Structure 1
Amino acid sequence: MAKTILAIDDSASIRQMVGFTLKGAGYDVVEAADGQEGLDKAKGKTVDLILTDQNMPRMDGLTLVRALRAMPQYRSTPILMLTTESSDTMKSQGKAAGATGWLVKPFDPAKLLEVVKKVIG
């Protein structure tokens, strides 16, 4: 059975590129347009990996990571930040919130797949 990835980004073109890349590698992808929608979708099902942007309307990525980590089914689920934010301060805030890893946009599809395979197979 294919692993399911929740991809959360307010940019439709980023969601499309992430979805295309991951689906092409055999993953099932659920998309959300912001952190609140991502949290709502995460509550409705269990996913194997969450990819989220940081800067989004309604709920940012760090707030989303904290909310997911507070839910029993997502305590150990890998959460990768895929964002334009690249400062060490932001990365350490992400780690403190519970993010598993950090990828900077624009992303290289091959690198994205490499990291996803490393985290969930």
Structure 2
Amino acid sequence: MTADLKRIVIADDDDDIRALMVIAAKRAGVEVVASVDNGRDALAAVCTGGIDLAVLDISMPGLNGVEVAESIRTHDASRGTLILMVSASVQLLTDHGVVAEWSDGFIIKPFSPRVLSARIRELLGLEATA
């Protein structure tokens, strides 16, 4: 049954927020393939292929979330990966044109793990868990 699990990568440079994201993802019933603190590691994890969703903070060291999203969309092995952007600023999301051009959705910090879990399930077409 684990072969049917959706696979995701989580990237946020804040350890506490990243830990909440992992909890939310596990509640959503997905496999967290990588949980990283920078854009370069996120891109490397996604580009190995077979990743269904990348949850990316916009502001990260190395490569920011927008740069990672652009690379995901242009790399053959990852082109079909869904992207959920996370930011503390609606302004950042709209300034970069991220929602329309590079991502499949967004969530604003602070968020509850329950809300993020529901958003992950929605994007991946998974039924809600009890």
For normalisation by structure 1, the TM-score amounts to 0.89
Does residue 42 in structure 1 map to residue 42 in structure 2?
no
2:73 corresponds to: 69
Residue 103 of structure 1: SS of its match in structure 2?
A: strand
Q: Which moved more, 1:4-13 or 1:22-31?
A: 22-31
Residue 122 of structure 2: SS of its match in structure 1?
A: helix
Unpaired runs of 5+ residues, structure 2, are none
State whether residues 62 and 97 of structure 1, in contact with CA within 8 Å, keep that contact through their aligned partners in structure 2.
no
Q: Which moved more, 1:95-104 or 1:62-71?
A: 95-104
Does residue 56 in structure 1 map to residue 69 in structure 2?
no
Following TM superposition, where does structure 1 have runs of at least 4 consecutive aligned residues deviating by more than 4 angstroms?
none
Q: CA deviation at 1:60?
A: 0.5
State whether residues 38 and 60 of structure 2, in contact with CA within 8 Å, keep that contact through their aligned partners in structure 1.
yes
| Pairing of 1:106-117 with structure 2 (within 5 A) | 106-117=110-121
State whether residues 23 and 113 of structure 2, in contact with CA within 8 Å, keep that contact through their aligned partners in structure 1.
no
Does residue 3 in structure 1 map to residue 10 in structure 2?
no
Distance (Å, rounded) in 2 between the aligned partners of 1:45 and 1:77: 9
2:123 corresponds to: 119
2:18 corresponds to: 15
Unpaired runs of 5+ residues, structure 1, are none
Alignment match of 1:27 (pick from 30, 42, 55): 30
Q: CA deviation at 1:96?
A: 4.7
What amino acid sits opposite 1:14 in the alignment? I
Distance (Å, rounded) in 1 between the aligned partners of 2:84 and 2:60: 15
RMSD: 1.6
For normalisation by structure 2, the TM-score amounts to 0.83
What amino acid sits opposite 1:39 in the alignment? L
